[in-house]
Homo-oligomer: A and B are copies of this chain.
Amino acid sequence: MAEHITPRSKNYSDWYIDIVLKAKLADYSPVKGCMVIRPRGYALWERMQRALDDMFKETGHTNAYFPLLIPESFIHKEAEHIEGFSPELAVVTHGGGEELEEPLVLRPTSETIIWSMYKKWIQSYRDLPLLINQWANVLRWEKRTRLFLRTSEFLWQEGHTAHADKEEAQQETLRMLEVYRRFAEDYMAMPVLTGAKSESEKFAGAVTTYSIEAMMQDRKALQAGTSHFLGQNFAKAFEVTFQNTEGNLDHVWATSWGVSTRLVGALIMTHSDDKGLVLPPKLASTEVAIVPIFKNATRDQVMAFAEKVESRLTGRFRTVLDRDEQNSPGWKFAEWEMVGVPVRVEIGPRDMEKDMVVLVRRDTGEKTQVPSDQVAEQVAELLESIQKNLFERALAFREENTRKISNYQDFTGYFEGDGGFVYASWCGSAECEAKVKEDTRATIRVIPFDQPRDPGSCVVCGKPAAQVAVFAKSY
């Protein structure tokens, strides 16, 4: 029997950790708060990397690598930046057996070290735009950690771009937000809301932070990617100026944007079920598992037939033929379900006699018997259908759990119950935002781009509202 997973209905949090550990995606490490990403989890990250990296390159970005170690004084140069990151820093004080003159922090993000280099590289408008991305590890000392979702060390990409004017930088910020939306929806099959963050939730050092937000199966929001318009904040802190086309000196405009291994956690919590992982085909390292079923008398024949089916699928799909002879078919089915392979092909002696195979889709469990010479076309259709169904199922779930609420009693009541996403009008004050958080633990996830002409009155204080915001409890 495959290992037992806590059902979602019993304890969602235990269910999540069970999947991560039992599908061998990650493991706890000897260093508190740091995780080990095991091969099966890393393969998901690799597929995400490849797709995102292609999208970054299509939009004109190149990769580079900046040092992990940052002089502590750099972090202090941008006032909001140090305030935001100071409590989370890991500090190197000794190197090569000696105490360092100046302590070095492990990058929590790379704006400061990168802008110290941009100062050297940017002199004229001809050097702009500068469109650089980095794949790297970062460290943020976290008190409460959870595998993939929040760890002291994590892997991510961080784009850092420099522009000659404000509008171009703003466009870049939104372009990359759109790249993230497209990746989340097209590859991860995870519908997301997009919009701006409130002042209290924005990145330390940004003028405006935008994010993509997804609803997990426990109806909480997960911030899955952010794109920041940094204005001239870092250019001013690091004195990065350029000669513009009119021959005058001006400060450079900046953006930064990132997604991390947190996406692996988001993927799990969006689609998986009580049997284990459920993966969208585009990100599954194995798309099809062939499981032959035989007794001693039929072994050779069934295996030969399975190999013929394998040869029809290999090359076109990422296919594995399960050659294990130690475990029962039932155990093997459960294992393939646990690791989330989208399509399972079952082949038994009776199927073979009829020259048929059975296809089982992981998302719904539905079985269909198909002639073996049609297996490739049928698998292709199934994979497409699964990718689509996962997105639609997640979207329907989000819509079922989204409300428009204008009354504060209903608002707090909703979050006392199951909760979900709430569209509500907000006056824009930090006080009302803080009151919501205190009363319900919900926060503003995004202020959507589409706004009504008249947002009505604030759900908290009743004063005229500046906008409609989306509230939710979150990871």
| A residues with CB within 8 A of B | 27, 29-31, 34-39, 42-43, 45-46, 62-71, 74, 86-97, 103-104, 106, 113, 116-117, 120-121, 132, 136-137, 139, 141-143, 152-153, 155
**Across the two chains, which residue of chain B brings its CB closest to A66?**
B36
Assembled-state Cα–Cα distance A36/B155 (Å): 19
A93 touches B96 (CB 8 A): no
Q: A27-B117, A64-B37, A66-B29 are in contact. Are A95 and B104 (CB under 8 A)?
A: no
Assembled-state Cα–Cα distance A184/B92 (Å): 36
Assembled-state Cα–Cα distance A116/B29 (Å): 9
Assembled-state Cα–Cα distance A132/B96 (Å): 29
**Across the two chains, which residue of chain B brings its CB closest to A261?**
B65
Can you tell how many copies of this chain the complex includes? 2
A435 smallest CB distance to B (angstroms): 29
Q: A43-B63, A63-B39 are in contact. Are A153 and B68 (CB under 8 A)?
A: yes
A30 touches B94 (CB 8 A): no
Q: Report chain B residues within 8 Å CB of A46.
A: 63
Main secondary structure of the interface of A (DSSP, over half): mixed
Q: Report chain B residues within 8 Å CB of A137.
A: 68, 136-137
A153 smallest CB distance to B (angstroms): 6
A172 smallest CB distance to B (angstroms): 17
**Across the two chains, which residue of chain B brings its CB closest to A93?**
B93
A92 touches B90 (CB 8 A): yes
Assembled-state Cα–Cα distance A62/B74 (Å): 38
Assembled-state Cα–Cα distance A87/B152 (Å): 26
- Which among B37, B120, B139 is the interface contact of A65 at CB below 8 angstroms? B37
B63 touches A36 (CB 8 A): no
Q: Which of A65, A116, A137, A152 has the most CB atoms of chain B within a 10 A radius of its CB?
A: A65
- Which among B42, B93, B97, B141 is the interface contact of A63 at CB below 8 angstroms? B42
A211 smallest CB distance to B (angstroms): 25
A-B contact pairs, 13 of them (CB 8 A): A29-B66, A29-B113, A30-B113, A36-B65, A36-B67, A37-B65, A43-B63, A67-B153, A68-B153, A69-B90, A89-B96, A96-B141, A96-B143
**Across the two chains, which residue of chain B brings its CB closest to A97?**
B87
B153 touches A31 (CB 8 A): no
**Across the two chains, which residue of chain B brings its CB closest to A39?**
B62
B36 touches A64 (CB 8 A): yes
